[in-house]
Amino acid sequence: MLIDDHSEADLVTLGHVPAMRDYLADLWGRREFAVVVPFNDVRVQNMNTKLGPLWHVINPIMQIAVYWIIFGVVLDVSRGMDNYLGFLIVGVLLFTLSSRVLLDSVRAMERDEGLIRSVQFPRALLPISAVIEQTMAFVPAAGVLLVALLLTGEVPDVSWLAFPFILFIQFLINIGLGLVGARAGFAVRDLSQIISHVIRMLFYFSGVIFEVSRYVEDPALLKFFALNPFYDILVVARWSLVNGELLVWPVLGFFAYATILPAVGMRFFVKAEHRYGG
């Protein structure tokens, strides 16, 4: 049987790691998939309920209320903060965004295994789509966040203008987390069973419900917290929105993770490209 030149060009060598430049070009060529599919998934969420899309607004409000009652009223962990509710709102909603990205990404390769086996495409589209879907779903929550801060008495100032940029940096960090999480979840299938417990631990190590610097005085230990990208995101976001303390190490970690994690995550993920679905 004769094979024409075009068919030979389309053959893929088993075990071959694609060149990163070609791989990224292929990803960009299929960018519509990474946007349209998550958009449709977000649009149809909760469509079988009476309130439908309103749940994208109601859920973050209820989430804020639950944490406020438990930690702000019952346990009173504010330690004399002027606007603990605003502090809590920023922490809960931004942590939820990144934690959902990690949760979805770890399960992405197993969840879409049928698609992987039947269609040839750059597999990184799956964790990237998960990040985009969670980011789209966060848009109503971002509106709730800003309105809620105004209701708590926060007055917008120049630092609020940095918030969209901070969300973009968080998006880059989430891309890196998603790529690393997707390969890790594929390599260790049991990770999908324990990831929720890992996220619960990260919740308490990220200063979501309390300001770490009010509880931890050891400078070396504070630097240790800065190794956690979730914590770095919250520190910078709270500086922007609720006049939080801007610490040097979390700021350095914030930008370092945004610069390094997507590149490292992409290379880490692509090295196992030929194994996915196998």
Q: Tens-of-pLDDT digits for all 278 residues of the chain?
A: 333 444 444 545 545 667 889 999 999 988 888 888 888 877 777 667 766 667 778 888 888 888 888 877 776 776 667 888 899 999 999 999 999 999 999 998 888 888 888 888 889 999 999 999 999 999 999 999 999 999 988 999 999 999 999 999 999 999 999 999 999 999 898 888 899 999 999 998 999 988 887 788 788 888 899 999 999 999 999 999 998 888 899 999 999 999 999 999 999 999 988 888 66
Let me know if residue 249 belongs to a domain. Answer: yes
Let me know if residue 181 belongs to a domain. Answer: yes
Determine the Cα–Cα distance for residues 231 and 207; give it in Å rounded to an integer.
Answer: 6
pLDDT score, position 50: 65
Let me know if residue 196 belongs to a domain. Answer: yes
Closest to 260 in 3D by CA, of 179, 184, 173: 173
pLDDT score, position 16: 61
Question: How many distinct structural domains can be found in the chain?
Answer: 1
Let me know if residue 4 belongs to a domain. Answer: no
Closest to 149 in 3D by CA, of 230, 243, 236: 243
Let me know if residue 218 belongs to a domain. Answer: yes
Let me know if residue 115 belongs to a domain. Answer: yes
Determine the Cα–Cα distance for residues 150 and 200; give it in Å rounded to an integer.
Answer: 29
Let me know if residue 29 belongs to a domain. Answer: no
* 82 contact partners, CB below 8 Å, separation of at least 6: none
Let me know if residue 74 belongs to a domain. Answer: yes
Domain ranges, residue 85:
51-275
